[in-house]
Structure 1
Amino acid sequence: MTRQTDDEVQKQIYNLILDPSTREWERQILVEAKDNANGLSPKNQLDQLKSELRPLALRHNLTPNVMDFYLTITGERQIDTHDKLIRHYQNDFSYQERAIFAGGCFWCMVEPFDQLPGIIAVISGYAGGSIDHPSYDEVSSQTTGYIESVEIIFDSRQITYQQLLQIYWSLIDPTDEFGQFDDRGENYKPVIFVVNDSQLSLAQNSKMGLIKSKRFKKPIVVEIREVIKFWPAENFHQDFYKKNVHRYRAIKRSRQIFLTLQHTKNAIRRVFKTRV
């Protein structure tokens, strides 16, 4: 490690210690690295820091700036979502629309839409609150009013908003207003955020169709709200299903088991009700 690189690393460590978004246990590790009480060489000091951060990084449990720092000092490759996030800030082109859905943890709401023809980008983020630039920790505190959501930018010539609504209903438990699956709390509740009157009408009709189908014994509790602002989440939350394949598959499997059991029970209930 050259002197210039060492100086840069020390500066990053110092800035992360001062960063208010750094968690206390992360800060403790960084402070110990900065103080270097054992008098380690720069290389050994950096190796020890990598070793201490690695278990947290593998569990995807580092805050965004610390995660970026870890990737920098290890040289590990992180999927770049810069181009995807640019899509959020661009003006919509002809035939381009946006749909915003909340259905529990946004990690599991990306892949089902991302693989479809006509989908331009699926961005994880936050909707429903009022403060600017909310962080993941702030949203998780359930004090901001924000809900984990996905913004789907799509070409309406290839896929319609009605089709996206049908997919959305298949991914969630529409009878659970206190979260979704293992994700509990206000920040995980299911909501359809609409961007215009057309989407409002289509979403209301879609919800009413689900109610009239009597597929569910319990009431359909999914809210339909006008979106005020959608804020993209931090980089390491984007494309989680690509970055953390094994963890994502485990979460996805758990959700699929729940939904399969729920649909089976509801189907059996309807059959017996019809016979009676």
Structure 2
Amino acid sequence: MIEFFDKAGVRGFLHARHLGSAAEVSLDADEPVVLASVVKVPLVLEFARQVAAGQLDPADRVRARAADRLGGTGMAGCADDVEMSLRDAALAALSVSDNTAADLLFDRVGVGNVRSLMTELGLTSTRIIGAPKDVLRTIIEDDGRDVRALDPLRTTASTPREMTRLLELIWRDEAGPPEACRQVRDLLGFQINWYRVAAAFDDEVAYAGKTGTLPQIRNEIGVATYPDGEQYAIAVFTTGRYTGRRPDIDQAIGAAARSAVDQLRA
């Protein structure tokens, strides 16, 4: 697998596990990696758990005002104030990676509660410094010098192994009440970013996942379900010095993921 990353000029980290056995494939799977927008998966999981517990009404409204809209996709890039329900904010956070939707959700569920959830699930190498706006604040403060947001030891981070474990718990209904896990699985299936992992699989393979992107960081975690019912949790993280769109890196992420799953199926 390392050859895919070497060809693209990035360092890659990968973990894939068969959901149903102890089989796994790994490449530096216990090294710390920057989560970027992958953090929206534990965020939405905590939201779904609070809804299932009756602590939050998913129909409650949130409003994104000018100070909340920091640019990007979804309501984050709107010119005017936007209002939507909490459950629609969860959809926007996972489907189009809407940072403002994620910020508003973090405000409601509490950063501390998302951190506690990771501890409860045994994901002790996963660290969450705050909402997307908090990571952006560090980027602005660092002003291009020694950027904390690109350092997994100083920003929101985890390991590939812990991220596939998180997916395993969600897919087994062990990360919370079954209805909460089911909601997260369903929302991950709405992701519109198909050009990394999803693009490497045939149409007959169902895929649900979440990308993460920052300058010099491109990631994705997700679960591939084959027609025979076998499922595979995948986490691929990359880092490197580059500029531009670099579709070759996206393709390398997909190729490495597919290679790992092919090894597991063999």
TM-score, normalised to structure 2, is 0.25
User: More helix by proportion, 1 or 2?
Assistant: 1
User: More strand by proportion, 1 or 2?
Assistant: 2
Structure possessing the higher radius of gyration over alpha carbons = 1
